[in-house]
Amino acid sequence: MKFRAKIVDGACLNHFTRISNMIAKLAKTCTLRISPDKLNFILCDKLANGGVSMWCELEQENFFSEFQMEGLSAENNEIYLELTSENLSRALKTAHNARALKIKLTNKHFPCLTVSVELFSMSSSSRIATHDIPIKVIPRKLWKDLQEPMVPDPDVSIYLPVLKTMKSVVEKMKNISSHLIIEANLDGELNLKIETELVRVTTHFKDLGNPPLASESTSQDRNPGHMAEVHIDIRKLLQFLAGQQVNPTKALCNIVTNKMVHFDLLHEDVSLQYFIPALS
């Protein structure tokens, strides 16, 4: 298995750094999948993650000026690695204003992803910072658990409000209850509700807009004002919102009543899907 890639463009480097910061906030440990055209950051819905799953995808040619990989075998031309996300974001932090960034798969004293940053320096010789991020290679038999999750037909699909606003609302609500209800309808209305014995708090977002639905029949049957709701753990939503430092280019929320909420975001050219299951 081989992997070597290089980023020389400053904007691409910053974007990649932002993505890795986001991943570090969303998942402590995640899987990095390397394939000839794409890179994926994956979190599968294991018990340890509380049923939350994440699928982040980026096209490698939008970032890397050089990209070479050789997967496990010719038929399985992919590499699955498990790493601590914070290590990657810390390594990339030093790449701010770097001349070049190189990533490669190495086996120094343990398998690692070596991130090498060439910094600008006053003198003629370059200053180089190298980070060896320990990784675990995921065996072929576990790959089936790490595939792109199926997105079920949502009951309601709605565009999200400004995430920063949502985050500050949810942060305050967290102090009152750990159980949050998200509901939305096809009229562009989204509500966040918490209920306790003493108090009920609802925040209403209006005029958000709905993306066109896949099947027309659903839109005819459903009363557009009808709310589809799901009960989730507020901390999981907060973790998701905390990871969004920059407002995404596109942000969509799909609700499957009493099953799950699915967030579909696009940060420029990087797509992020985040699934939060309903509380049982």
Partner 1 sequence: MKCLVTGGNVKVLGKAVHSLSRIGDELYLEPLEDGLSLRTVNSSRSAYACFLFAPLFFQQYQAAIPGQDLLRCKILMKSFLSVFRSLAMLEKTVEKCCISLNGQSSRLVVQLYCKFGVRKTHNLSFQDCESLQAVCDPASCPHMLRAPARVLGEAVLPFPPTLAEVTLGIGRGHRVILRSYHEEEADSTVKAMVTEVCLGEEDFQQLQAQEGAAITFCLKEFRGLLSFAESANLNLSIHFDAPGRPAIFTIKDSLLDGHFVLATLSETDSYSQDLGSLERQRPVPQLQAHSTPHPDDFTNDDIDSYMIAMETTIGNEGSRVLPSISLSPGPQPPQSPGLRSEEEDDAEPSTVPGTPPPKKVGAEGEGEGGGGGGVGKGAASRTHLFLPVPLAVLRLHPGPRRLPAGPQPCAG
Q: Which residues bind partner 1 (CB under 8 A)?
A: 2, 4, 84, 87, 90-91, 93-94, 102, 104, 108-110, 112, 114, 116-118, 121-134
Q: Which is nearer to partner 1, 86 or 187 (CB)?
A: 86
Smallest distance, partner 1 to C-beta of residue 70, A: 11
Q: Which is nearer to partner 1, 127 or 140 (CB)?
A: 127
Q: Where are the alpha helices (DSSP H) in the chain?
A: 10-26, 85-93, 163-174, 216-221, 234-242
Smallest distance, partner 1 to C-beta of residue 94, A: 4
6 neighbors 54 (Cβ within 8 angstroms): no
Query: What does each C-alpha distance from 154 to 52, 140, 158, 212, 247 come to in angstroms?
Result: 17, 32, 10, 12, 24
Smallest distance, partner 1 to C-beta of residue 66, A: 10
Strands 156-159 and 179-184: unpaired
Smallest distance, partner 1 to C-beta of residue 63, A: 19
Cα–Cα nearest to 169, from 204, 209, 196: 204
Rounded CA gap, 12 and 7, in Å?
7
Smallest distance, partner 1 to C-beta of residue 130, A: 4
Q: Is 183 helix (H, G, I), strand (E, B) or coil?
A: strand
Q: Which is nearer to partner 1, 28 or 200 (CB)?
A: 28
Q: Which is nearer to partner 1, 136 or 222 (CB)?
A: 136
Query: What does each C-alpha distance from 21 to 16, 144, 179, 224, 244 come to in angstroms?
Result: 9, 27, 27, 38, 9
Tokens representing residue 89 in the block: 């974001």
Smallest distance, partner 1 to C-beta of residue 93, A: 8
Sheet of strand 228-233: strand arrangement: 200-205, 190-195, 179-184, 228-233
Q: Which is nearer to partner 1, 101 or 260 (CB)?
A: 101
Q: Which is nearer to partner 1, 29 or 62 (CB)?
A: 29
Smallest distance, partner 1 to C-beta of residue 110, A: 5
Q: Which is nearer to partner 1, 114 or 191 (CB)?
A: 114
Cα–Cα nearest to 244, from 170, 194, 146: 170
